[in-house]
Amino acid sequence: MEIQETLWNYIINETLGGRLPEGFDGDYDLIDSGTLDSFKMMNLIIYFEQHYQVEFGINDIVPKHFKSVNALVAFLRNKLG
Amino acid sequence: MKLNLAECFFQKAEQQADHPLILGPGAEDRTSYSEFREEIRLLAKRLRDAGVGRGSNIGLHYRGGRDYIAFVYAIWNCGACVTPLPLELTVPEKRQIFQHIHMDGVISGANILDQIRASVRPAILSLTRQAVFAKVDTVCEAPSHLADINPAFIRFTSGTTGDAKGVVLSHRSIYERIHAANQVLQISENDRILWLLSMDYHFAVSIVAYLMFGAGIILPKNSFGVTLLTAASDHRATFIYGSPIHYSLMTQDDTGALLPPELRLAIVTTTALRSEIADAFYKRFGRILNETYGIIELGLPAINVSHLKEKQGSVGRMVPGYELRLDCLQGQEQGEITIRGKGVLDAYYFPWQSRDAILRQNDGWFRTGDIGRLDADGFLYIVGRIKEMISIGGLKFFPEEVESVLENHPAIHAACVFAVQERQWGMSAMAYLVLAEGRATPDDNELIAYCKKYLTRHKIPGRFQWVDHLTYTASGKKNRNPEK
């Protein structure tokens, strides 16, 4: 499955509990909206590590990578080379 | 009249009505002690109208934050007890809590009620815009002695032996342990504490202490390093309470943000602090992190407030009111940490064991299961753990729980789960697996999908390795340091 599709599914089902907020799209702000609190962020990182066999360094855990689904997709693609 | 922690807070709110209690998540967001007291009273009235009263036990299935604190105090104000239902658990893990701990009702986030729907009755009462109250379909009875100890908190843990255990804390025990810890922490109305941990696991010794001693609690929006530093700076934090990953995230921030000059303590808890993180924090901010020894059964019996670089790595001296005894093998300087003192747990819930029964097993001392040593100045160092708890980004679990799930897989004969320090920001879990006879080896994706049915995400091992056999210690226990 494409990274984008996998990530959409994860965010919608596991982070948002299957309920999309109004105006949700690839640029929806996951941080300012409070969608990604610290616990959900940690689970998302663990999911990435398990699913894509990538390792996150401490410098990867910064807002610009987690700001939106599109930012996450770009970051993951870059990470996977 | 029995001690009630909600009454203690109301008295404090009377003394300092306009003092800020909750600060954040926005720079201008503030709730005063009197405003919070009124919220609690209103919630308590709604709960009483719903039938919550003395002797009730109420599950709390809600995200950490200001509402969580208000719900706990409202439940206490009704004379009832609280059992947290951590959100990160899977549906079967939550069901297990209902099966072992008698609950009369649950406060849940409205949007996550479905996760516990099978355990609650259909009639739902709206408590706030985002929270609902539901009565529980009881499947077990409360232990007959529970009401005698005036319980405030029941923390469900899956025990090290595989037996389910709930740690029961009374209002008196919590009161005693926070007063003991405060002889060292010296929390007062002058403090503003940046709070970074899970309220499901860290409420009884910390949040309660802040409300008891009149401090303000800073709640940041998320855990990115820049967010934490901004929140600390905006609200002039005097105190931070976090796990190693939070300090690591602050250290890597590249915006140049600084910690406020008012900061006097940066407490580290949940798991051992690696020296690289402590060194990096010192280099970036010029501050020594304050390591502690926290344990749900005891509170905070040791805290390192020395601010001495040469004492880095120690959890400090024992807090007044606690005594330490190291049960060392002959000729060894290190041994199992046993402690006695204030605020020891009141009971294990299932199977029921009173405090007296627990302490009687070891001459009145509580066996922690951790191995420690003391230096010449009386500073305690944790050098190992008998109970091999794993902490991933501050989220804890026991390996036995994961092993029992893995060993139920038809292709797995035996499993050994252990922590490996492989990430920059903390531990990862790994599993050694022995294949069952005549079975094909499942691949990692199949194992992850299988685990996900029973375990919350952070408990699923990051790596699986198939081995011919497991290794065992001299006493016959699984060797959870197989890579050493």
Pick the residue of B457, B460, B463 with the most A CBs within 10 A to test the interface with A by mutation: B457
| Nearest chain B CA: its distance from A18 CA (Å) | 10
Q: Is B419 an 8 Å CB contact of chain A?
A: no
Nearest to B441 by CA among B463, B462, B457, B464: B464
Could you read off the pLDDT of B336-358 as tens digits, one per residue? 999 999 899 999 998 899 999 99
Burial class (CB in 10 A: 0-12, 13-18, 19+), A59: middle
Across the interface, do A62 and B224 touch by the CB < 8 Å criterion? Answer: yes
Average pLDDT (B428-454) is: 91
**For B216-232, how does the pLDDT look when each residue is reduced to its tens digit (9 = 90+)?**
999 998 888 999 999 99
Residue from the list B251, B428, B457 with its beta carbon closest to the beta carbon of A43: B457
A66 lies within 8 A of chain B by CB: yes
B384 versus B363: the higher-pLDDT residue is B363
Q: Does A59 touch chain B (CB under 8 A)?
A: yes
B478 found inside a domain = no
B395 in contact with chain A, both atoms CB, cutoff 8 A: yes
When pLDDT is cut at 50, 70 and 90, the band that residue B33 belongs to is very high
Residue B278 has pLDDT above 60, yes or no: yes
pLDDT of A41 > 90? The answer is no
Name the DSSP letter for residue B436: P
Residue B124 has pLDDT above 80, yes or no: yes
Q: Does some domain include residue B15?
A: yes
**pLDDT at position B475:** 55
What pLDDT, in 10s, does the model give residues B166-195?
999 999 999 999 999 999 999 999 999 999
Position B255 scores a pLDDT of 87
pLDDT at B285 over 90: yes
Show residues of chain A in contact with B225, CB under 8 Å: 61-62
Instruction: Answer yes or no: do B228 and B348 share one domain.
Output: yes
- B164 part of a folded domain: no
Rounded to 10°, the helix B5-15/B33-49 angle is 140
Q: Say whether pLDDT at B394 is over 70.
A: no
ipTM: 0.76
Q: Give the sheet arrangement for strand B120-126, strand by strand.
A: B120-126, B131-136, B105-109, B57-61, B81-84, B151-158, B164-170, B347-348, B353-354
Can you tell me the distance from the alpha carbon of B432 to that of B417, in angstroms, rounded to the nearest whole number?
6
- Is the per-residue pLDDT at B162 higher than 50? no
Cβ <8 Å between B252 and A55: no
B55-110 pLDDT tens trace: 999 999 998 899 999 999 999 999 999 999 988 888 888 998 999 999 999 999 99
- Chain A residues touching B111 at Cβ < 8 A: 17, 19
Q: For residue B78, what pLDDT is reported?
A: 98
For range B318-340, the mean pLDDT: 89
Å from A5 to nearest chain B CA? 18
Could you tell me the pLDDT band of residue B474, with boundaries at 50, 70 and 90? low
Average pLDDT over residues B305-309: 94
Answer whether residue B16 is part of any domain. yes
Asked if residue B129 belongs to a domain, the reply is yes
Using an 8 Å CB-CB cutoff, list chain A residues near B66: none
The alpha-carbon gap from B188 to the nearest alpha carbon of chain A, in Å, equals 28
Mutate to test the interface with B, among A10, A15, A50, A72 (most CBs of B within 10 A): A50
Q: Note whether B82 and B178 are same-domain residues.
A: no
- Strands B463-466 and B426-435, by their bridges, are parallel
B242 contacts on A by Cβ (under 8 Å): none
End-to-end CA distance of chain B: 56
pTM: 0.85
Scanning A24-53 for CB atoms below 8 A from B yields 31, 34, 36-39, 41-43, 45-47, 49-50
CATH of the domain at B36: 3.40.50.980
pLDDT at res. B221:
86
CATH number at residue B314: 3.40.50.12780
Q: Which of B142, B159, B192 is the last residue of a domain?
A: B142
Pair B415, B315 in one domain: no
Show residues of chain A in contact with B392, CB under 8 Å: 42, 46
Q: CB–CB of B249 and A61 under 8 A?
A: yes
* B154 against A13, higher pLDDT: B154
Residue B166 lies in a domain: no
Q: Are residues B347 and B395 in the same domain?
A: no
Q: What is the pLDDT of residues A56-77, one digit of tens each?
A: 877 888 888 999 999 999 998 8
Give the per-residue pLDDT at A31: 86
- Give the CA dihedral A41, B399, B448, B114, nearest 10 degrees: -60
* Same structural domain, B412 and B357: no
Tell which residue, B199, B206, B241, B211, has the closest CA to residue B84: B199
CATH number of domain containing A48: 1.10.1200.10
**How many domains, in total, are found in chain B?**
3
Which of B385, B406, B429 is the endpoint of a domain?
A: B385
A42 vs B111: CB contact, 8 Å cut-off? no
Indicate whether B411 and B324 sit together in one domain: no
Same domain for B329 and B183?
Answer: yes
Statement to judge: residues B381 and B400 lie in one domain: no
Does residue B241 have a pLDDT over 50?
yes
What is the DSSP track for A49-75? HHHH-----GGG-SHHHHSSHHHHHHH
For chain A, how many structural domains are there in total?
1
Pairwise pLDDT comparison (A55 vs B78), residue with the higher score: B78
Would you state the structure tokens that stand for residue A2, as one six-digit string? 């494409």
Residues of B with Cβ-Cβ distance to A42 under 8 angstroms: 223, 392-395, 458
Q: What's the average model confidence in pLDDT over B196-212?
A: 92
Lowest mean pLDDT of A19-28, A42-51, B30-39, name the range: A42-51
Domain that holds residue B444: 390-466
Instruction: Give the closest of A56, A57, A61 to B224, CB-based.
Output: A61
Of B252 and B71, the one with more pLDDT: B71
Give the pLDDT of residue B161.
43
Query: With an 8 Å Cβ cutoff, is B196 touching chain A?
Result: yes
- Determine the pLDDT at residue B344: 94
Domain match, B405 and B372 both: no
Q: Which of B320, B353, B385 is the last residue of a domain?
A: B385
Residues B96 and B179 in one domain: no
Residue B159 lies in a domain: no
Same domain, B251 and B192: yes
Q: Do B249 and A58 touch (CB under 8 A)?
A: yes
> Could A61 and B225 be called an inter-chain contact, meaning their C-beta atoms sit closer than 8 Å?
yes
Query: Mean pLDDT over residues B287-291, rounded?
Result: 95
Nearest beta carbon to residue A38 from set B222, B422, B423? B222
Tell which of B66, B224, B271, B443 to mutate to test the A interface (max A CBs under 10 Å).
B224
Q: What is the pLDDT of residue B101?
A: 95
**Can you list the alpha helix ranges (DSSP code H) found in B346-466?**
355-360, 399-407, 444-452
B302 interface with A at CB cutoff 8 Å = no
Instruction: Kindly indicate the confidence band of residue B204, based on its pLDDT and cuts at 50, 70 and 90.
Output: confident
- Check whether B147 has a pLDDT greater than 60: yes
Judged by CB atoms closer than 8 Å, whether chains meet at A63 and B224 is answered as: yes
State which residues form the domain around A70: 3-17+26-80
pLDDT greater at residue B294 or residue B475:
B294
Indicate if B376 and B398 belong to the same structural domain: no
* More confident position, B295 or B388: B295
